[in-house]
Structure 1
Amino acid sequence: MEPVKELVKKAIPSLSSDKMDALMARLVELGVQCEDDMILVEAPDIQDTLPLIQCRRLVKAFQGDSQAAPQFRSPGPTSTPLPQSDDLPPTPPETLPAHTPSAHSPSCEPYSIPWHKMPSKLMDVLGEKKWVKSKERLQMVRIVVDDYLHKHPGRPGRSKLMEIAKNIVGQYPLSFKQTEPFGNMPFAKDGCGPLFTQLENRVENIKRTSTPGKRRAEGGEGEVQRKKKSRNSDRYGCVEWDVAVEGTESRAELLSKRNELKSAFKTHDPQESSVRKLMAETYPIQRETINDGTNVKVLKEEWPFLFEAAHLFDHASRLLGFSVQNKLAQELSKKEPGINNFLDTKGMKMGEGPVQLICGIVRYFKENPDHLFCKNEDSADAELSLPCTPCILIRGDHLFEIAVDQEVVNDHITSPIVALSYAFCLLYVCNIEYPKEMSLTLEFMQRVFFGINPDRGSKAEMKGKKQHHIPPKLSKLVTELKEFDWHM
């Protein structure tokens, strides 16, 4: 772009460096790559960066320069010279419409990000491929939305906002890529989701007073959609959710091995290596039984070893593709101190240890811890008040029981990390959605501790709410933790 800059200096010698930078950014945005491209630039294209007279002078200078060395080829002595398609500048991907519009509606027109209006500090960060912090992101979002609404009055659709978010992230992927706090693993596929949410919130804030709210659809069609979503949530994050059982002989053999396991459980003296081998071999019909919707009580009768911690972890490892218990222990050792320090600055630190850490996160999200933890419940009747989702009963500092469907399925766990891992595994092994009262905390664990980041869908129970790939409150906490990590 240096030759282009030289031409600008010749045309307008008095142009300040700030205006020169803004102009060059605008030309790059338009797709200008060399001197020849300037013949296609018109005054309205750059009027946001220069006074009108200077725009006209600059365009005239470019057109005059191009006439001195025309880029045309004549196919014959009597034909009219035509520009060769090879000589025309390529249109940048971000300015290409997704399809040929039938009308000039805002949703069909391509939108160019007004980089020339952005603060110089933000452009420096983008140029250096650094991560954009919250303050600069909000400035950028305000500028983009205000600019779009100025050019296209009316409310933009969600698809248009996602297109804008993808445009921004596509041009500066490293600056918007979300990584986990206290680490460098990806927190999400890219930064489009959180940026889209911020754009949408900005539009909502501007339009709230002028647009009446719409009632949400209830019942009927919504019920059908929820059932379909629930099925998607069953497979969410899994790598081997449904394994085909092939052939009659194979099925009969697997059922025989299941009966062998049931008999071994009743003897109270099974050979661990043999049980582990049989449990691995019968994994296909274990999944078949679970995926058919079998309740926990029947499942415990048919597959009693499944609820022993070692075998539940083996099953979950195959289902999810990694060891849940080992992963949680590793991630807590790296991230627990930093998260605790962050919670301490918010007055939300609950104490030392994994259970206290999770309780602090619950408190941050203002969720209900009773849907995951139940403390000092000694009577048998206490089980009647338990949630249906997996719950950890804390009997002491080193004694935990796990209940699901209001039934205790394991009463001899002595480690808090094992208890947390066990409860988390049950959600995936038994096809259970995150309860809405604890969905943010569980999704935080899923993404930050276990690295389960599917491209779409959710494990959370959602009813009649606008759905986001990553909940905005969760994105906010991850961003705050990341910035806190940088300042430590």
Structure 2
Amino acid sequence: MFFLTLDTELIQQEITKILPELDIPKLNVVVNHLCFVVGVERTQDLALVELTDLQDILLPIQCRKLMMAFKQIALRDQVDETSLEITFTSLPSPDLEQPSTSYTPSNSYWLSMFQIPWNHMPAALLHAASNKEKAPLGPRREFIRAVVAAIREFCPNPSLADCGEVARNIFSKFPLTFGDFTEEGEQLGKGYSSLQRQLRTRVEHVNRDNVAHRIRQPKRTNKADEEQDNIVKKVRCKVDSYGCINWQPTSMPDGETSESLEIKRQTLLEMFQSGGPRSCELSDVDKLMKETYIAQRKMINSCPPPAISDIALEWPYLFSKRGLCNHFETLTGVDISSCLSECQNGKCIRIVNYFQKQTLKWNAEVQALLREIEATPASTDKTAISAILLTMKHFKEKENSLFILVDKTSTQMSVENELRLPVTPRLIMLGDSLLTSSKWMVSIEGKVTHCIDEQLDFSAALSVFFSVFYVFNIEYQESASATLELIQRFLVRINPEGTKCASKAGTSRKTGSSVKRKIQNINPHVHTFLQRLTEFEWKTGN
């Protein structure tokens, strides 16, 4: 009788994982052939096996599966041995500067063999999937654990990109059950960002006590790299056209030429000079601005980007609410004025209600703001302003990263002369407090660019403020990126993949220190907030 040695048993186990369809007699034939004919003595030797060694015993597809898996097994064993050596190496002296070293896994070819363990889906999750319903939280977490356990049989520490590929496959089979969607049914980004993040979080959790599987790249310390992040952008990139459907038209309107469009631009300048900002209400202005849209985009999208003051000289109607918001609608397909006006009496109320009904749950800053809101007299704009301020406090973003409070008697000239306005856009609030402000201005590049008519409400001011980021190709400032993305995805309902904040450096919300910023498809804080808001309303509504 033939008795298996320890390494032979391991080889048998590995082959069973790769080809579970093999019966025991066939499995023994394969193992015996590898060990006593080919000469395999341990699992690392499997990487040396060639296709011709098994082609007389197994089918071609089975041979190819084994070849790919054998390479991954050898790599895994090599990683384990290398990591153990690192673990037991004496620590360097803190006074000596050591060169940074890191281990980067090879291409994840195990993904081509990985099978999602659908048979481990809990009954409640199967029921939700069959009915095209959202996955219940408990069963979803249970399935995540099963998927990660299956992944780790191939790769003990899959990367975020690997988790994304697995998440994409799950999402493609059951999009309505596992996907990221707004309450209106619109897909958030690529649709599976939360699932990807959950898989990666679970991997980090199971590897928390295993040094061998937690090798990470060192933090960047090269000052030259940090200085590179602060260089002013001189080229166009994907962020500029983020979320736009008509960023740069390529064909002229019917019957138009460059010369005819220039004549119409000159006509618009004459109308502005004779009628002033109020002339933007004329129907002829709307018509000419629509016809010259391609010329406006050509200037705005030119490289290097033009100064805001130069755009104002060429296209002054873009610095009126009507002209700017009409341009935004052509650019993105969203009527932002109507959209935010509806939100003021809908979604903004829901946000405020979410915080007020759970007062004790929040930190001291949010609770203090809730008390201030309670003590502030009711007004048309109070709810909308409160909703934005509460989310900023929740995301630990400072109010001055979006808003600047000035005296209610301030003028455009006094604001520019008395304040040092930042380069990135700000909504200037005129009043005794942010909550009681009733007049607004918008500043860009240190200058007041838009003065909102006094008869308009806060939603109109927010429309202008948010539109400038898209119309003038301005990236979100990192210090307020979460709040701006919430406005974009939840209120304005622009939900592309990626983000409009491309900053590589940020500020830690906990320590205040400078940190390297991760670029993600959807801001995780925004995604979590929207999930919890939906869950809260579902629980309290039943």
User: Does TM-score exceed 0.5, indicating one fold?
Assistant: yes
Matched with 1:79 is none
Task: Check if 1:305 corresponds to 2:340.
Answer: no
Residues 225 and 41 of structure 1: is their aligned pair in 2 closer, same or farther, counting only changes over 3 Å?
Answer: farther
Matched with 1:471 is 523
- Give the one of 135, 158, 161 matched to 2:163: 161
Letter matched to residue 201 of structure 1: T
2:445 and 2:463 mapped to 1: Cα distance?
18
Report Cα offsets for 1:251-310 as digits up to 9, x if no partner: 222222222222222223647122222212221111111112111112112211111111
Question: Which sits farther off after the overlay, 119-128 or 293-302?
Answer: 119-128
- Give the one of 66, 72, 87 matched to 1:105: 72
CA drift of 1:389 comes to: 2.0
What's the RMSD between the two structures over aligned residues? 3.4
Residues 184 and 314 of structure 1: is their aligned pair in 2 closer, same or farther, counting only changes over 3 Å?
Answer: closer
- Give the one of 118, 140, 143 matched to 1:140: 143
Q: Is the 8 A contact 1:187 1:448 kept in 2?
A: no
Task: Check if 1:435 corresponds to 2:477.
Answer: yes
Report Cα offsets for 1:301-327 as digits up to 9, x if no partner: 221111111111111111111211111
Residues 229 and 148 of structure 1: is their aligned pair in 2 closer, same or farther, counting only changes over 3 Å?
Answer: farther
Residues 338 and 249 of structure 1: is their aligned pair in 2 closer, same or farther, counting only changes over 3 Å?
Answer: closer
CA drift of 1:101 comes to: 4.1
Task: Check if 1:356 corresponds to 2:356.
Answer: no
Secondary structure of the corresponding residue to residue 434 of structure 1: coil
Matched with 2:35 is none
Q: Gaps (5+ residues) in structure 1?
A: 1-29, 31-39, 45-90, 92-96
- The 5 Å alignment of 1:140-289 reads 140-149=143-152, 151-180=153-182, 183-188=183-188, 191-209=191-209, 210=211, 211-216=214-219, 219=224, 231-244=237-250, 250-268=257-275, 270=279, 272-289=282-299
Secondary structure of the corresponding residue to residue 494 of structure 2: coil
Matched with 1:76 is none
Matched with 2:52 is none
Matched with 1:458 is 499
Letter matched to residue 235 of structure 1: S
Secondary structure of the corresponding residue to residue 447 of structure 1: helix
Report Cα offsets for 1:27-57 as digits up to 9, x if no partner: xxx9xxxxxxxxx95568xxxxxxxxxxxxx
Question: Which sits farther off after the overlay, 105-114 or 410-419?
Answer: 105-114
Q: Is the 8 A contact 2:159 2:200 kept in 1?
A: no
Question: Which sits farther off after the overlay, 236-245 or 380-389?
Answer: 380-389
Letter matched to residue 269 of structure 2: K
Matched with 1:328 is 340
- Give the one of 449, 455, 471 matched to 1:409: 449
Question: Which sits farther off after the overlay, 389-398 or 304-313?
Answer: 389-398
2:245 and 2:193 mapped to 1: Cα distance?
23
1:213 and 1:226 mapped to 2: Cα distance?
30
Residues 409 and 332 of structure 1: is their aligned pair in 2 closer, same or farther, counting only changes over 3 Å?
Answer: same
CA drift of 1:118 comes to: 4.5
The normalised TM-score by structure 2 is: 0.65
2:236 and 2:194 mapped to 1: Cα distance?
24
Residues paired across the two proteins, number: 396
Secondary structure of the corresponding residue to residue 385 of structure 1: coil
Task: Check if 1:447 corresponds to 2:477.
Answer: no
Question: Which sits farther off after the overlay, 403-412 or 374-383?
Answer: 374-383
Q: Is the 8 A contact 1:173 1:190 kept in 2?
A: no
Q: Is the 8 A contact 2:246 2:332 kept in 1?
A: yes
Matched with 1:61 is none
Letter matched to residue 385 of structure 2: V
Matched with 1:371 is 401
Residues 160 and 333 of structure 1: is their aligned pair in 2 closer, same or farther, counting only changes over 3 Å?
Answer: same
Q: Gaps (5+ residues) in structure 2?
A: 1-16, 25-60, 74-107, 374-381, 432-436, 505-515
CA drift of 1:108 comes to: 2.5
Secondary structure of the corresponding residue to residue 452 of structure 2: strand
Report percent identity of matched pairs. Answer: 28
Report Cα offsets for 1:81-120 as digits up to 9, x if no partner: xxxxxxxxxx9xxxxx99x948542733322233444544
